[in-house]
Amino acid sequence: MKICVIGTGYVGLVGAAIFSNWGNEVIGVDIDLEKIKRIKKGHIPIYEPGLSEIVLKNISQGRLSFTTSLSDGIKNAEIVFVCVGTPQSDTGDADLSQVWKVAEEIGKNLTGYKVVVIKSTVPVGTNEKVKKVIRSTLRSNIRFDVVSNPEFLREGYSVEDMENPDRTVIGSDSEKAINLMKKLYKHLGKPIISCDFRSAEMIKYASNAFLASKISFVNEMAQICERSGADIDVVAKGMGLDSRIGPRFLKAGIGYGGSCFPKDVSALYKTSSDQDYDFKLLRGVMEVNQVQKEYFVNKVKRYFGGNLAGKTFGVLGLAFKNNTDDIRDSVAVEVVKDIRGLGACQNVFDPQAMKNAKQLLGDVSIKYCLDKYEALKGADALLILTEWEEFAALDLRKVKKMLKNPVIFDGRILLDRKEVENAGFVYFTVGKRTTGTELLDKRPSGTPGVILKNGS
Ligand code: UGA
């Protein structure tokens, strides 16, 4: 099949690469000339395991090419995928300006029948409006169809997720378009849900919001476990073995981040408000996520008697999760900012996100280190903020020698509590009573920061 993919961000670039890897002839379009020049040379702008090899292979075998010209891109395509960004606007809903612009351009440049597929995450009703926008900009009476085909890939695992999806959702009012899309995905042998536009759009938001709710639920459970002496990891394991619940997305921590969950939960909440419905549960999901981060920062603050001025922390992790260099809406970055705001210095390290973090955070009170141990040298405590596997394998004896005080705040429950405590550390984590929790409990009331009310 001949395919055009507009937008070469995470979804677009991975989509273009994988579609070409399936034997289709694919052309990727982006307005960013520098980016296109770099991709053509095989320089992939994002860290995504396995992607670079697939892009290079398919470019060299002539199935994958790139251009900055939308008209050239769509000229010979049977299917045109729209994969542009839909970031959060100031009012909390999705900013669709890039979608409208691309829809207008497609309309102006359409010369024959095509299926226009919206892969970007867009609120309910958007695909119908896209259809109207394209129709209003057509130069002659050309037929086209629109399809909603939301993407469910996770950053860091996107190649794996696209090759092996749990399901494919195809929403349209055209049977012809649905059949063409089925042809593209049929070989995967996975369930295909064909439905109307609005249900397809809603499936994407419902899925992300439900996963975010799972995380906020387990984070609230972690709060109760910590206070009552239960262990959140054991509780999550016990819950997850119930096939009706499932084990995934039950890892407690400092909250969810990234370019999707925060914006999509907020956009769905805005959609429900616009429909005169107060989605109470989602309001709670967002609030819990905020409190979870503040609670972690406050633990650090309380341990040091409420004053972090003059302290230095070794910080491991800046990306919003492991296996990515993405720091958009990263809770780790938020924690670093909060700790800096409290007057402390930080020596930071992340296996992939250093460049992005430096651009965003600058140099004030932050030293960017070459490896995880350098970040710990002379620090008052270690903070673990991202769930990279390499942080779970820290040499505790080495860590103890490096740190000024043997204190660890593990925001991702990466370390083994017993091992850390046996090695002589004061250990604070999430959802478990640890040496750290007991120390804070023993402080006389009135010690700065001791009283915990909503995590403050
Ligand atoms: C998410 C969804 O998982 C994808 O299905 C979806 O396609 C994508 O958004 C999107 O809408 O484009 P992603 O943002 O890449 O994918 O990251 P996730 O792996 O879902 O993690 C999101 C956040 O939740 C991270 O900050 C992670 O640390 C946190 N998380 C995840 C937890 O705190 N606990 C968990 O158990 C799982």
Mean pLDDT of the chain: 94
**Which ligand 1 atom is the nearest neighbour of the CA of 219?**
33
Ligand 1, atom nearest to 204 Cα = 11
Centre of ligand 1 to C-alpha 58, Å, is 28
Mutation probe of ligand 1 site: the residue of 261, 324, 328 with most atoms within 8 A of C-beta? 261
Question: Is the domain of 450 the same as that of 388?
Answer: yes
In a domain, 405, yes or no: yes
Amino acid letter, 66? F
What's the CA gap between 254 and 385, in Å, rounded?
A: 8
Nearest atom within ligand 1 for CA of residue 255: 33
Q: Please report the pLDDT score of residue 92 as a whole number.
A: 84
Backbone angles phi, psi at 125, to 5 degrees: 100, -15
- 277 lies in a domain? yes
Domain assignment of residue 203, yes or no: no
Q: Which two tokens stand for residue 424?
A: 């002589």
Q: What is the per-residue pLDDT across 173-229, written as a single tens digit (0 to 9) for each?
A: 999 999 999 999 999 999 999 999 999 999 999 999 999 999 999 999 999 999 999
Q: How far is 145 from 105, CA to CA, in rounded Å?
A: 15
DSSP conformation letters of 283-329: HHHHHHHHHHHHHHHHHHHHHTTT--TT-EEEEE--SSSTT----TT
Q: How far is CA 62 from CA 31, 59, 132, in A?
A: 22, 5, 35
Q: Within 13 Å, how many C-alpha atoms sit on residue 305's CB side?
A: 3
> Distance between CA atoms of 42 and 35, rounded to whole angstroms?
11
Is residue 260 among the annotated active site residues? Answer: yes
Q: For ligand 1, say whether the CB of 152 is within 6 Å of any of its atoms.
A: yes
Q: pLDDT tens digits, residue range 280-314?
A: 999 999 999 999 999 999 999 999 999 999 999 99
Sequence-separated (6 or more) residues with CB below 8 Å from residue 336: 315, 318, 346, 348, 357, 361, 366, 385
208: Cβ below 6 Å to ligand 1?
A: yes
Q: Which single residue is written with the structure tokens 């394991």?
A: 237
Query: Which domain does 354 fall in, by range?
Result: 232-456
**Does 179 lie in the same domain as 255?**
no
E strand or H helix at 118: strand 114-118
CA atoms 337, 342, 346, 351: torsion sign = negative
Dump pLDDT digits (tens) for 432-442: 999 888 777 66
Asked if 184 and 259 sit in the same domain, the reply is: no
| Residue 204 domain flag | no
Residue 69 Cα distances to 7, 31, 58, 144, angstroms:
11, 8, 20, 20
Residue 205 Cβ inside 6 Å of ligand 1? The answer reads no
Question: Please, are residues 195 and 121 in contact by the beta-carbon 8 Å criterion?
Answer: no
What gap in Å lies between CA 145 and CA 92, rounded to an integer?
A: 30
CATH of the domain at 413: 3.40.50.720
Q: What is the DSSP string of 361-419?
A: H-STTEEE-SSTTGGGTT-SEEEE-S--HHHHT--HHHHHHHSSS-EEEETT--S-HHH
Ligand 1 and 261: CB distance under 6 A: yes
Residue 271: Cβ within 10 Å count: 20
Name the residue with the closest Cα to ligand 1, atom 8.
154
Query: Which residue has the CA at smallest separation from atom 6 of ligand 1?
Result: 152
Same domain membership, residue 185 and residue 313: no
Give CA–CA dist 403/390, Å, rounded: 18
Q: Are residues 55 and 134 in the same domain?
A: yes
Domain end call among 135, 168, 195: 195
State if residue 262 touches ligand 1 by the CB under 6 angstroms criterion.
Answer: no
Which of 195, 221, 245 finishes a domain? 195
H/E stretch holding 348: strand 345-349
- Whether residues 23 and 105 share a domain: the answer is yes
Rounded mean pLDDT, 87-103:
94
Which ligand 1 atom sits nearest the alpha carbon of residue 321? 28
Instruction: Please state, in angstroms and as integers, the Cα–Cα distance from residue 112 to each residue in 39, 120, 144, 180, 455, following that order.
Output: 29, 23, 8, 16, 59
Whose C-alpha lies nearest to ligand 1, atom 17?
Answer: 154
Query: Are 252 and 183 members of one domain?
Result: no
Is 377 found in the same domain as 260? yes
Q: What is the mean pLDDT of residues 117-130?
A: 97
Active-site annotation holder among 4, 83, 225, 260:
260
Label each residue of 317-344 as H, E or C. Answer: CCCCCCCCCCCCCCHHHHHHHHHHHCCC
Residue 233 Cβ contacting ligand 1 at under 6 Å: no
Checking if the pLDDT of 104 tops 70, the result is yes
- Any atom of ligand 1 within 6 Å of the Cβ of 315: no
Residue 41 CB neighbour total at 10 angstroms: 8
Given a cut of 70, whether residue 454 has pLDDT beyond it is no
Are residues 236 and 160 located together in one domain of the fold?
A: no
Looking at the CA of residue 212, tell me the nearest atom of ligand 1: 24
pTM for this predicted structure: 0.94
Chain CA centroid to CA 333, Å: 13
Q: Which two tokens stand for residue 289?
A: 């996520």
Domain count, the chain: 2
Question: End of a domain among 148, 173, 195?
Answer: 195
Is the pLDDT at 452 greater than 60, yes or no?
no
Q: Are residues 136 and 242 in the same domain?
A: no
pLDDT one-digit tens code per residue, 27-71? 999 999 999 999 988 889 899 999 999 999 999 999 999 999 999
Q: Could you tell me if residue 145 is inside a domain?
A: yes
Could you tell me if residue 202 is inside a domain? no
Q: Are 168 and 149 in contact (CB under 8 A)?
A: yes
Determine contact, residues 399/412, Cβ cutoff 8 Å: no
Instruction: Answer yes or no: is 108 within a domain.
Output: yes
442 within a domain of the structure (yes/no): yes
Q: Quick one: 270 and 366 in the same domain?
A: yes
Mutate to test the pocket of ligand 1, among 120, 168, 215, 385 (most ligand atoms within 8 A of CB): 215
Domain match, 249 and 371 both: yes
